[in-house]
């Protein structure tokens, strides 16, 4: 299962919706709308249009960082930082995804009702330059400790997707590569089938 995380600033032709539509054409069923610099009004407009697109493809739209927008557009899930989830809680009406960076955070997220976790960063990535990846053994350890799905993120490519999926992850999230070339989704899916 490939998740595509948005970052409109990385798209070469500046067309976020076109990029996402291509990723959906190539087979992704999960889009994480992660445009943290947008105001509520701006994000709501983008999320509403994105929801129309994902609905046409029978895909899931996950809204990162804005619970109000996620619930108002009836997104599939709300994605939050671990600290926000622990301090403020999540949604009572849609699924909750939580970004985690340690085994302790994974356990606490599950104990507090997370439906899935986003685990990162697995490999070094352009998005977090200089931050060493945690590797596939980290994924294996988490898979032994929790029962909810874990989605790996960070530096995932055609070279390492099989190792990631063989480590207990139920999916992999990509951002930079998909924003620059949505066809990577098709190539990743082909590798894991």
CB contact at 8 A, 135 and 153: no
pLDDT at 127 over 80: no
Residue 188: per-residue pLDDT: 98
Angstrom distance (rounded) from CA 32 to CA 63: 6
Would you tell me which CATH number, out of the four given (3.40.30.10, 3.40.640.10, 3.20.20.70, 3.30.420.40), belongs to the domain 2-192? 3.20.20.70
Question: Mean per-residue pLDDT for 35-46?
Answer: 97
**What pTM, to 2 d.p., does this model score?**
0.96
pLDDT tens sequence across 56-115: 999 999 999 999 999 999 999 999 999 999 999 999 999 999 999 999 999 999 999 999
Mean pLDDT of the chain: 96
Residue in the block written with tokens 């493809």: 57
Q: How many CB atoms lie within 10 A of CB 111?
A: 10
């Amino acid at each position: 299962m490939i998740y595509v995380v948005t970052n409109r600033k990385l798209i070469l032709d500046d067309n976020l919706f076109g990029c996402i539509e291509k990723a959906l054409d190539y087979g992704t069923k999960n889009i994480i709308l992660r445009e943290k610099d947008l105001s509520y009004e701006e994000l709501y407009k983008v999320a509403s249009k994105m929801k129309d697109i994902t609905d046409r493809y029978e895909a899931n739209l996950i809204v990162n960082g804005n619970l109000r927008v996620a619930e108002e557009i009836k997104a599939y899930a709300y994605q939050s930082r671990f600290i926000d989830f622990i301090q403020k809680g999540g949604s009572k009406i849609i699924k909750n995804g939580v970004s985690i960076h340690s085994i302790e955070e994974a356990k606490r997220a599950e104990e507090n009702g997370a439906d899935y976790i986003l685990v990162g960063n697995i490999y070094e990535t352009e998005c977090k330059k200089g931050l060493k990846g945690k590797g596939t053994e980290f994924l294996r350890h988490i898979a032994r400790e929790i029962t909810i799905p874990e989605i790996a993120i960070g530096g995932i490519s055609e070279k390492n997707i099989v190792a990631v999926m063989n480590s207990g992850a139920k999916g992999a999230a990509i951002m930079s590569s998909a924003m620059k070339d949505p066809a990577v989704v098709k190539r990743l899916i082909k590798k894991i089938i």
